[in-house]
Each structure stands twice: as C-alpha cells, then as structure tokens.
C-alpha cells in the first residue's frame, strides 16, 4: 500500500497536475478574487510594482481566508504548493550543512586545521561547495558505504 | 599585499562577501522568474 501511494505520488508530480485554485467543500477559504476582505486590502494597498504584482498573482491563483490573505490548504490535490517550497528548502539546508561538513573534514588534513576556520581556504571552500551541491547523491553513497554513520561504542559520551 | 589578501580570506570578510553574493543571486532570481516569491509561480 505504501509503495502504491509512493508510485501514485510520483506519477502525480511527474504529470505536474496543478488545478486552478478551488476550495474544498469543508473549508472557509475562497478564491482571493471573490474575498471581500482581500478586495478591501487590494484597494487600501499602495499602487506600485511591489504591491500590484503580488496582489494580481494572489487574485488569480490563491485561496484567501476571512482575513483576506492567501492561505495554503493541506490537500492531496494541492500537494505541490507545499512540496515544491519544502523541496527547495530541504535541498538548500542540506547544501549548507554538507558544504560545512565537507570543509571541516577537508581542513582536518591541513597542518593547522584551526587556522582554516579563521582564514578561509578558498580552493577547499569551493571544492566543498561543489560537494554540497551534490549532497543528496553523496549522502546516499556515504550511507551505503558506512562513512556517514558510526558504531555506537565509538561515540563519545559525557560521564554520568 | 600578501597580508591584505590573507585579511580578505578572514571569516568575517568572507561571510560578508558570501552574504552580498547570495543577495545579488536572490535579486537576480526574482528578476528572471518574477512571481517566485508570491507562492504562485508554479500555477
């Protein structure tokens, strides 16, 4: 069942079905275009690029609540609204973490590792960034080869 | 000159440069894909 669900999800993402904004029957959300509170905000907003562009996008695509602001629904057929920003965040967080880790591992091979934390070694940093970009692949590789994890008895534990 | 280039690689200077580069990248991203920040780009 879980496999089936995963396959359905992948197919759904693959064909990239994004229906226009329409509220489910059990919600108070309405398309922003039809929300009185949203129209009120629209009229009170300053008329310039930084307000016009977002308000146009909200009006044509998103659902608004009683407060007249756009809200996301946690619904399967709107899964991409949540999945894409989460995927971007997850990849970026992984990139930051993996680059830092790669830099620290690389700096341990230098004669003065602590100096490389104060004065950045640019060539090592750039190599670390490149590794960071590939972090999902490297994480799988290190996990399967056992580099990513360690044995429980090798972990240092504070005295109890 | 040698000391100046070493000073430029010190962590606070590098962090500032990285922040500026990231800001320029984000601003350009918004310029190339307008609407990305409104959560409506993929509709």
Q: Do A119 and B43 touch (CB under 8 A)?
A: no
Per-residue pLDDT at A38: 94
Q: Is the pLDDT of residue A9 over 60?
A: no
A-B contacts (CB, under 8 Å): 41
Per-residue pLDDT at A57: 85
Is the dihedral angle over the CA atoms A76, A10, A143, A84 positive or is it negative? negative
Rounded CA separation A70/A81 (Å): 12
Per-residue pLDDT at A109: 93
pLDDT per residue over A102-160, tens digit each? Answer: 999 999 999 999 999 999 999 999 999 999 999 999 999 999 999 999 998 988 889 88
Q: Do A120 and B34 touch (CB under 8 A)?
A: no
Residue ranges of E strands in chain A: 30-31, 63-64, 70-71
- Phi, psi torsion values for A110, nearest 5 degrees: -80, 165
pLDDT per residue over B1-43, tens digit each? Answer: 889 999 999 999 999 999 999 999 988 988 887 767 666 665 5
DSSP A38-83: HHHHHHHS-SSHHHHHHHHHHHHH-EE-TTSSEE----GGGHHHHH
Q: Is A57 on the interface with B (CB under 8 A)?
A: yes
> Which band of pLDDT confidence, cut at 50, 70 and 90, is reported for residue A27?
confident
Q: Do B39 and A70 touch (CB under 8 A)?
A: yes
């Amino acid at each position: 069942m879980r496999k089936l669900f995963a396959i359905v999800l992948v197919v759904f993402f693959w064909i990239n079905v994004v229906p226009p904004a329409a509220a489910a029957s059990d919600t108070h959300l309405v398309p922003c275009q039809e929300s009185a509170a949203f129209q009120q905000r629209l009229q009170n907003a300053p008329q310039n690029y930084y307000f016009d562009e977002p308000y146009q996008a909200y009006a044509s695509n998103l659902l608004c609540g009683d407060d007249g602001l756009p809200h996301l629904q946690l619904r399967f057929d709107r899964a991409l609204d949540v999945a894409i920003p989460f995927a971007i965040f997850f990849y970026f967080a992984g990139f930051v973490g993996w680059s830092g880790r790669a830099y620290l591992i690389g700096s341990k091979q230098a004669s003065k590792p602590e100096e490389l934390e104060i004065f950045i070694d640019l060539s090592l940093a750039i190599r670390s960034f490149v590794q960071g970009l590939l972090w999902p692949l490297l994480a799988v590789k290190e996990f399967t080869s056992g580099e990513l994890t360690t044995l429980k008895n090798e972990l240092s534990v504070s005295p109890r | 000159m040698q000391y100046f280039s070493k000073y430029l690689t010190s962590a606070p200077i590098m962090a500032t440069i990285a922040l500026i580069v990231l800001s320029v990248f984000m601003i350009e991203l918004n310029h190339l894909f307008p609407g990305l920040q409104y959560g409506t780009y993929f509709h």
